[in-house]
């Protein structure tokens, strides 16, 4: 009987894997059918006040030097906004250069397995698939009169190209993750880039994984050589790039830090028409190390408490966010419990997973070497605790968010069933495809264990105790039970069930941090007009060049002041107003 069950289980997972592949191809096809959003017409915008623009360019020659290290000109989420920053910074007296890749890299952040297959990428044929359109889009978006363009290939010598290729081809896959060049973690970002390309967390699962990883290492080295030469030639005061991880942007940031050049990294935030910026490192790191006095000292009011609770409630439907999951979620936890055999009368511990390939960087405070190891050891622990039930909610992002294109090719549920073909009776899994509401399920739990999800910010705001085992941004805030190694993690689990919610003082602190996280760190830019069915997913709605002058948008002022002066990237929503005219 067990053999029959196992055969049925294996068949189920093979069919599910096929469904994932089909969904991946469907998303690519839908992406190709999307209409192209209007790219900003900088000639027309600048022409609305030609005198102002020419005066600004002249003054900028003596101003601080800024490099907008876009590199990937055809990236749908980042290029358009970075063109806005280049113009806004020029109007504030900065001499801005833009860095674009001109087919210099054999692998990059934009490459995904859905668009170019591993043999072609491993053989260095990226240019046949992405490069021409990417270069053309970057040239069009940054066609700002008077703006200086830097191209990667112009800052890499022939000898350096040969060296990068020789190093990449001479190393094994095991050697690459730890490889350093000039004491910079080049191999770490190469590995993160390769994992992102595949949508997996372990390259050993892929036959061409080593060759693909070599191409990402080669691209990393080429980026490092380019940045070293560019910094020596121009000596920028600050370098701005998106993400601050992967290839090439993780390498750009690493080289700048090694050369003591100030860096700024950014990404689109979860809230619509907002972005998040960080000094010195990727926000994946800085949000965990941010001093608590940046938000604890904030004056708190009933109005702010009302605003953050209203927003957190909206996240259950995603009505105010760029990225959302389970918009039509099922909140009927009674029916769900009956269907799967869960008993809400016994203590239930929630567990929220991450997408296995996302932001695979080194985090010194992680209790486990990786998310999969954490999941497996946690299940093994609960197998010995029949007094508890473990409810695992697999991240819906495994199937790619609306508008996204990276489907996880290493589903955590399959990893679990491979390790535990006979699941413990007290362990239950909500798959990524399920419409069950994550929020409704976690509301019923005694406490929730997380690894790296931002949901910890939301759960603590309603008093749900949270245990952190990985790089979650709620870590180090004095609001959660933080494990720094496996031993401390299991000591925390030994105290379960907690049988109580957070106290009122802690809940107030949690809401204050949530307000800071969602309303102050996520900086509003109302001129980004959302176009969810288009590429890019927004258009720049600027009536004229004057709209980018200081004083027009407080969010844009916050960003530009941070880039130019090093001031905190904190939008004081409590003073400026919550929405700054957002839709």
CB–CB of 193/141 below 8 Å? no
pLDDT tens per residue across span 152-184: 999 999 999 999 999 999 999 999 999 999 999
The dihedral formed by the CA atoms of 518, 521, 527 and 528, expressed in degrees to the nearest 10: -70
Tokens of 72: 């990937």
Asked whether residue 541 carries a pLDDT value surpassing 80, the answer given is yes
Once rounded to an integer, what is the mean pLDDT over residues 469-496? 95
Tell me what percent of the chain is helix, strand and coil, each rounded to the nearest 5.
Answer: 45, 15, 40
- Helix intervals (H) in 322-411: 333-340, 371-383
Model confidence band, residue 50 (pLDDT cutoffs 50, 70, 90): very high
Q: How far is Cα 421 from Cα 405, in angstroms, rounded to an integer?
A: 30
Strand-pair partners of 481: 467
Strand-pair partners of 580: none
More confident residue, 460 or 18: 460
Closest Cα partner for 238 from 220, 225, 256? 256
Quick one: DSSP state of residue 367? S
CB–CB of 266/235 below 8 Å? no
Asked whether residue 27 carries a pLDDT value surpassing 50, the answer given is no
Look at residue 9 in the predicted model and tell me its pLDDT: 39
Once rounded to an integer, what is the mean pLDDT over residues 558-565? 98
Superfamily of domain 294-520: Glycogen Phosphorylase B; (3.40.50.2000)
Look at residue 276 in the predicted model and tell me its pLDDT: 96
Number of other residues whose CB lies within 10 A of the CB of residue 177: 20
Look at residue 28 in the predicted model and tell me its pLDDT: 39
The dihedral formed by the CA atoms of 55, 58, 60 and 63, expressed in degrees to the nearest 10: -120
Strands 466-468, 522-524: pairing kind: unpaired
Alpha-carbon Rg of the chain, whole angstroms? 24
Specify whether domain 34-268+525-576 bears CATH 3.40.50. Answer: yes
Model confidence band, residue 331 (pLDDT cutoffs 50, 70, 90): confident
Q: What percent of the chain has pLDDT over 70?
A: 88
Quick one: DSSP state of residue 512? H
Q: How far is Cα 83 from Cα 143, in angstroms, rounded to an integer?
A: 9
Q: Give Cα 21 to chain centroid, integer Å.
A: 23
Q: What is the 3-state secondary structure (H, E, C) of 241-296?
A: EECCCHHHHHHHHHHHHHCCCEEEEEEECCECCEEEEEECCCHHHHHHHCCCHHHH
Question: Residue 436, SS3?
Answer: strand
With 0-12 / 13-18 / 19 or more C-beta atoms within 10 angstroms meaning exposed / middle / buried, residue 219 is buried
Asked whether residue 536 carries a pLDDT value surpassing 80, the answer given is no
Look at residue 426 in the predicted model and tell me its pLDDT: 98
- Helix intervals (H) in 315-395: 333-340, 371-383
Look at residue 365 in the predicted model and tell me its pLDDT: 61
Asked whether residue 509 carries a pLDDT value surpassing 80, the answer given is yes
Q: How far is Cα 568 from Cα 583, in angstroms, rounded to an integer?
A: 25
The dihedral formed by the CA atoms of 170, 175, 181 and 185, expressed in degrees to the nearest 10: 150
Look at residue 354 in the predicted model and tell me its pLDDT: 87
Number of other residues whose CB lies within 10 A of the CB of residue 492: 18
DSSP symbols for 44-75: HHHHTTHHHHHHHHHHHTTS-EEEEEEE-TT-
Tokens of 138: 């970057």
Tokens 């022939």 sit at which residue?
158
More confident residue, 15 or 512: 512
Asked whether residue 89 carries a pLDDT value surpassing 80, the answer given is yes
In the predicted model, what is the mean pLDDT of the chain?
Answer: 88
pLDDT tens per residue across span 435-463: 999 999 999 999 999 998 889 999 999 99
Look at residue 29 in the predicted model and tell me its pLDDT: 40
Model confidence band, residue 6 (pLDDT cutoffs 50, 70, 90): very low
Model confidence band, residue 401 (pLDDT cutoffs 50, 70, 90): low
More confident residue, 224 or 196: 224
Quick one: DSSP state of residue 398? G
CB–CB of 554/573 below 8 Å? no
Quick one: DSSP state of residue 40? P
Tokens of 517: 């996280």
Look at residue 23 in the predicted model and tell me its pLDDT: 41
Look at residue 154 in the predicted model and tell me its pLDDT: 97
Look at residue 35 in the predicted model and tell me its pLDDT: 56
Model confidence band, residue 469 (pLDDT cutoffs 50, 70, 90): very high
More confident residue, 7 or 514: 514
Look at residue 437 in the predicted model and tell me its pLDDT: 92
- Alpha carbon of 247 to those of 154, 162, 191: distances in Å? 18, 19, 9
CB–CB of 197/262 below 8 Å? no
Q: How far is Cα 365 from Cα 354, in angstroms, rounded to an integer?
A: 17
């Amino acid at each position: 009987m067990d053999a029959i069950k196992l055969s049925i289980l294996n068949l189920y997972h093979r069919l599910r894997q096929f469904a994932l592949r089909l969904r991946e191809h469907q998303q690519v096809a839908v992406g190709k059918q999307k209409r192209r959003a209007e790219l900003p017409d900088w000639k027309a915008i600048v022409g609305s006040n030609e005198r102002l623009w020419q005066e600004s360019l002249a003054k900028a020659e003596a101003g601080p030097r800024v490099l907008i290290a876009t590199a990937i000109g055809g990236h749908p989420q980042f290029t358009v906004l970075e063109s806005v920053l280049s113009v806004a910074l020029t109007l504030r007296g900065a001499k801005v250069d833009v860095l674009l890749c001109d087919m210099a890299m054999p692998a990059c952040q934009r490459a995904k397995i859905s668009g170019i297959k591993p043999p072609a990428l491993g053989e260095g044929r990226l240019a046949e698939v992405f490069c021409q359109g990417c270069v053309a889009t970057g040239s069009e978006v940054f066609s700002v009169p008077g703006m200086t363009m830097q191209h990667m290939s112009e800052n890499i010598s022939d000898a350096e190209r040969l060296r990068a290729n020789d190093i990449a081809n001479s190393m094994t896959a095991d050697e690459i993750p730890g490889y350093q060049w000039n004491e910079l973690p080049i191999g770490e970002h190469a590995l993160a880039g390769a994992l992102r390309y595949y949508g997996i967390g372990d390259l050993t699962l892929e036959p061409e994984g080593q060759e693909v990883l070599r191409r990402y290492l080669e691209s990393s080295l080429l980026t490092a050589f380019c940045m070293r030469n560019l910094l020596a030639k121009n000596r920028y005061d600050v370098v701005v790039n998106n993400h601050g991880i992967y290839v090439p942007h993780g390498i750009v940031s690493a080289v700048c830090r090694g050369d003591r050049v100030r860096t700024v990294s950014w990404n689109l935030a979860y809230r619509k028409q907002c972005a998040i910026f960080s000094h010195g490192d990727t926000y994946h790191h800085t949000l965990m190390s941010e001093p608590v006095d940046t938000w604890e000292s904030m004056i708190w009011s009933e109005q702010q408490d009302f605003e953050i609770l209203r927003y957190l409630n909206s996240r259950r439907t995603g009505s105010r966010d760029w990225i959302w999951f389970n918009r039509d979620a099922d909140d009927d936890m009674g029916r769900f419990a009956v269907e799967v055999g869960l008993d809400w009368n016994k203590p239930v511990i929630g567990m929220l997973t991450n997408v296995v390939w996302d932001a695979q960087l080194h985090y010194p405070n992680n209790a486990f070497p990786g998310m999969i190891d954490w999941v497996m050891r946690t299940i093994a622990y609960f197998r010995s605790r029949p007094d508890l039930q473990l409810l695992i909610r697999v991240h819906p992002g495994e199937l790619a968010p609306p508008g996204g294109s990276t489907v996880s090719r290493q589903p955590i549920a399959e990893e679990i069933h491979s390790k535990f073909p006979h699941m413990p009776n007290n362990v239950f899994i909500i798959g990524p495809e399920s419409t069950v509401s994550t929020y409704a399920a976690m509301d019923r739990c005694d406490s929730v264990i997380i690894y790296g999800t931002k949901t910890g910010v939301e759960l603590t705001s309603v008093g749900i105790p949270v245990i952190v085992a990985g790089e979650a941004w709620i870590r180090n805030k004095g609001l959660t039970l933080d494990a720094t190694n496996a031993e401390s993690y299991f000591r925390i689990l030994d105290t379960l069930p907690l049988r109580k919610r957070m106290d009122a003082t802690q809940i107030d602190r949690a809401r204050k941090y949530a307000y800071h996280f969602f309303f102050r760190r996520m900086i509003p830019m109302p001129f980004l007009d959302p176009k969810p069915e288009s590429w890019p997913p927004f258009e720049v709605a600027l009536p004229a060049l004057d709209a980018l002058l200081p004083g027009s948008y407080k969010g844009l002022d916050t960003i530009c002041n941070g880039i130019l002066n090093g001031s905190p990237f904190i939008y004081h929503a409590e003073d400026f107003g919550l929405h700054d005219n957002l839709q």
